[in-house]
């Protein structure tokens, strides 16, 4: 057997004392190398690939992006151990394949247990198949509530599109193009996943490839038999299929 593999580890928490505690506890484990600390979600999204982190200790409630949103934006995903004072996220954490869920305050023994689980998970060879971003987005959303913002990676940066700003979403092969405020961003996700996370009272799938915010539609025009176009407030035209037209009529 080889010497145990050293795990490149990132600590992500917006509170300095919480980061210091993890650093102190982790110092006792030879196979853990803390390669960085992040105080917010944006930094974490940048640092994980930059540092090629194998393991991330992730707080849930942080400025800008919460822990689940950070995870949604990471590809490939490292092993994740959530650390939070809130027990209500535990179920969601395991739905997104977190290795463990530490409740603050926790002690050395509990952390050692979590690390044992991490080693086990990583030793099992290929990490457990990462759930699709869809599942992550769904888990990041409290039950009974619709998506409130879309997150897009823009190089090393993260762009947050509040749902109120969203005009429409368009399928492009394996990606969706997110159109808002006259700009657009590409996100690696199937359109069906985005459509399912949007409030059905405000967004309608008017076509196989388009989901549009109903209040952005200025008017509908008949284009050919059984096919229409939706003309948006800014003049853009989107195709409307027959099924899409039925769905629209139900809502309007």
Among 5, 6, 31, 104, binds another protein (CB under 8 A): 104
* CB proximity list for 181: less than 8 A, separation 6 or greater: 165, 167
Query: Which run of H or of E encompasses 62?
Result: none
* CB proximity list for 82: less than 8 A, separation 6 or greater: 58, 59, 60, 67, 89, 93, 98, 100, 101, 102
Cα 25 → chain centroid: 29
Question: Distance (Å, rounded) from C-alpha 121 to C-alpha 211?
Answer: 38
Among 86, 112, 188, 199, binds another protein (CB under 8 A): 86
* Token couple for 54: 């194998």
Q: How far is the CB of 26 from another protein (least distance, A)?
A: 12
Q: Which is nearer to another protein, 164 or 221 (CB)?
A: 164
Within residues 43-82, the interface with another protein by CB under 8 A covers 61, 63-64
> Is residue 42 a contact point for another protein (CB under 8 A)?
yes
Question: Distance (Å, rounded) from C-alpha 226 to C-alpha 242?
Answer: 6
Q: Which is nearer to another protein, 62 or 191 (CB)?
A: 62
Give the residue among 96, 29, 28 at the shortest CA–CA distance from 58. Answer: 96
Q: How far is the CB of 18 from another protein (least distance, A)?
A: 6
With contacts defined by CB under 8 A, name the span among 19-27, 28-36, 90-98, 127-135 that binds another protein. 19-27
> Is residue 85 a contact point for another protein (CB under 8 A)?
yes
Among 90, 130, 135, 160, binds another protein (CB under 8 A): 160
Give the residue among 22, 161, 6 at the shortest CA–CA distance from 102. Answer: 22
Contact indicator for 54, 127 with CB cutoff of 8 Å: no
Among 6, 28, 91, 103, binds another protein (CB under 8 A): 103
Q: How far is the CB of 105 from another protein (least distance, A)?
A: 4
With contacts defined by CB under 8 A, name the span among 98-106, 172-180, 211-219, 235-243 that binds another protein. 98-106
Q: How far is the CB of 122 from another protein (least distance, A)?
A: 26
Question: Distance (Å, rounded) from C-alpha 214 to C-alpha 141?
Answer: 22
Interface residues toward another protein, by CB under 8 A: 14-18, 20-21, 24, 39-40, 42, 61, 63-64, 85-86, 103-107, 142, 145, 148-149, 160, 162
């Amino acid at each position: 057997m080889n010497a145990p593999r050293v795990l490149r580890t990132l600590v992500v928490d917006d509170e300095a004392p919480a980061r210091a505690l993890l650093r102190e506890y982790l110092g006792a484990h030879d196979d853990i190398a803390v390669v960085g600390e992040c105080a917010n979600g944006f930094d974490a999204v940048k640092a994980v690939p930059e540092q090629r982190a194998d393991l991330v200790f992730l707080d849930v409630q942080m400025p800008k992006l919460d822990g689940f949103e950070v995870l949604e934006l990471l590809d490939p995903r490292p092993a994740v151990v959530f650390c939070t004072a809130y027990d209500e996220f535990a179920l969601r954490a395991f739905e997104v394949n977190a290795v463990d869920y530490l409740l603050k305050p926790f002690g050395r023994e509990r952390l050692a247990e979590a690390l044992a689980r991490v080693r086990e998970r990583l030793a099992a060879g290929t990490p457990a198949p990462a759930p699709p971003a869809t599942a992550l987005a769904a888990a990041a959303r409290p039950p009974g509530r619709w998506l409130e913002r879309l997150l897009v990676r823009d190089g090393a940066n993260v762009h947050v599109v509040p749902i109120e700003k969203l005009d429409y979403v368009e399928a492009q092969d394996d990606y969706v193009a997110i159109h808002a405020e006259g700009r657009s961003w590409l996100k690696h996700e199937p359109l069906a996943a985005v459509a399912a996370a949007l409030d059905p009272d405000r967004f309608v799938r008017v076509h196989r490839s388009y989901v549009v915010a109903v209040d952005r539609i200025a008017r509908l025009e008949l284009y050919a038999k059984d096919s229409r176009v939706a003309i948006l407030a800014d003049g853009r035209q989107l195709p409307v299929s027959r099924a899409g037209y039925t769905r629209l009529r139900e809502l309007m």
